[in-house]
Structure 1
Amino acid sequence: MKKLLTDFRLIFGLVFAHILMNFTFQDKAVFWYIFSASLLFLISYSILNEELNDEASFGSYLLYGVGSGLVLYAIFWTGYHLIDLLNLPWMKHITKLYGRYSPSMLWHYIVLMLIIIPGEEIFWRGFVQKRILKYTNMPTGIIVSAILYASVHLYSPHWILAFAALIDGLFWGWLYTWKRSMPLLIVSHLIFDLLLFIILPFK
């Protein structure tokens, strides 16, 4: 674990991710501009400092990518309806979250698919998690990486976004260590977001 704390490329990347995400969540009016620019920077930093895995065939990453995206959406769908059924006070947070961060213009959807989704996976799983796993065992590496991924979402005024990111991070972190394929992960994230924001949103 001491070696982890002396991995200055990892520490530098995490510090910059926090700085960028802090700016990203400050103003709703420029959220999509800052978020896109932040992920472009983090993609570049990741590619310069870590190799990306792609050990799955085209058919495999499509099959597992689509399937896992559907599974994760089903988990969130179940959670959402349990919150509704139990009449928990979290429903208003989910509604506000959709209102604040859902894509609403064509270019939002384009950058979501081409920059934001690949960028989050490349940086948080392909760079952060992969470097952490050099110093820890697999369960610890996945959990620590997911917590770090969730931590940058705490800059949002809606705490439930960080909780959702923690669930996402655990799921995609496990998937990446299992299949070792970045394209598979991006497909999974894409299917999940398409369902969440376009096809079957929770609103």
Structure 2
Amino acid sequence: MRKLITDRRLLFGYILAHLFIFFTFEQEKVFWYIFTATMLILISYSILDETEQRESRKFHLFIGILSGALLYGVFWIGDILIDLLKLPLSNQITALFKLFSPELTWHYLVLFLIIVPGEEIFWRGFIQKKLLTHTNPWTSIVLSTLLYASVQIHSGEFVLILAGLTGGFVWGILYAWKRSIRLVIISHLVFDLLLFWLFPLR
């Protein structure tokens, strides 16, 4: 754990993510431009890191599709329960969809080609991979989930933090289990495809 605290690349990368995500949420009118640039910067930072831990080369297509679909199902059920219980989160969800859902063709392109792969490359392929070199798998899952969700604080919306905790936990488990960045990218892509294109909740 001491090595974890003194891992400068890990700490600087995490601080960098907070700074850029904060700036991203502050620029609602140009959100998609800034978010795309942010992910390109975080991807660049991630690929500069060289670790001895090797990635799995297996292509877990079925697991990726299934996990992404099941995660969407969890969000779908959660959305129904929020409406049934008349929780105040319903207004937050509606507002967030209006503000940050992709609308233009290029929004969808950067979402699927840059943003989703970029999030997984940085948060699982860099942050969690670093954590795995210093801690056991379950500790890496919990810590990477908390770190991933923590940047959502800058949105000012509790529901987005909750979404980060849920998605981060699932993708953290998948990465710790199979050590495949391609697997978590597929899962995340399927989830976003269902959430924002095929069957949006709002």
* TM-score normalised by structure 2 residue count: 0.96
In structure 2, what is the equivalent of residue 12 of structure 1? 12
1:49 and 1:24 mapped to 2: Cα distance? 24
Structure 1 contact 36–115 (Cα < 8 Å) conserved: yes
1:44 aligns with 2:82: no
2:50 and 2:195 mapped to 1: Cα distance? 30
1:12 and 1:19 mapped to 2: Cα distance? 10
The root-mean-square deviation of aligned C-alpha atoms, in Å, is: 1.3
Letter matched to residue 15 of structure 1? I
Letter matched to residue 166 of structure 1? L
Offset of 1:31 from its aligned partner? 0.7
1:28 and 1:48 mapped to 2: Cα distance? 30
Offset of 1:54 from its aligned partner? 4.3
Instruction: Provide, for residues 12-43 of structure 1, a one-character-per-residue CA deviation record: whole Å limited to 9, x for no partner.
Output: 10111011001000021111111100100111
1:148 and 1:64 mapped to 2: Cα distance? 24
2:49 and 2:112 mapped to 1: Cα distance? 23
1:108 aligns with 2:95: no
In structure 2, what is the equivalent of residue 22 of structure 1? 22
In structure 1, what is the equivalent of residue 175 of structure 2? 176
Offset of 1:5 from its aligned partner? 1.0
Offset of 1:99 from its aligned partner? 0.6
Letter matched to residue 191 of structure 2? F
1:55 aligns with 2:59: no
Unaligned runs of 5+ in 2: none
1:195 and 1:2 mapped to 2: Cα distance? 41
- Matched residue count: 201
2:178 and 2:72 mapped to 1: Cα distance? 19
1:184 and 1:136 mapped to 2: Cα distance? 22
Letter matched to residue 171 of structure 1? V
1:127 and 1:5 mapped to 2: Cα distance? 15
Offset of 1:53 from its aligned partner? 5.4
1:151 aligns with 2:140: no
SS at the partner of 2:134? coil
Unaligned runs of 5+ in 1: none
Structure 1 contact 55–181 (Cα < 8 Å) conserved: yes
Instruction: Provide, for residues 139-182 of structure 1, a one-character-per-residue CA deviation record: whole Å limited to 9, x for no partner.
Output: 11111111110111110032211110111111000001111111
Offset of 1:202 from its aligned partner? 0.7
2:77 and 2:93 mapped to 1: Cα distance? 14
More moved, 46-55 vs 92-101: 46-55
Q: Percent identity?
A: 54
Cα distance, 1:89–1:75 mapped onto 2, change above 3 Å: same
In structure 2, what is the equivalent of residue 136 of structure 1? 135
1:194 and 1:91 mapped to 2: Cα distance? 21
Structure 2 contact 121–181 (Cα < 8 Å) conserved: yes
Letter matched to residue 76 of structure 2? W
* TM-score normalised by structure 1 residue count: 0.95
Structure 2 contact 27–34 (Cα < 8 Å) conserved: no
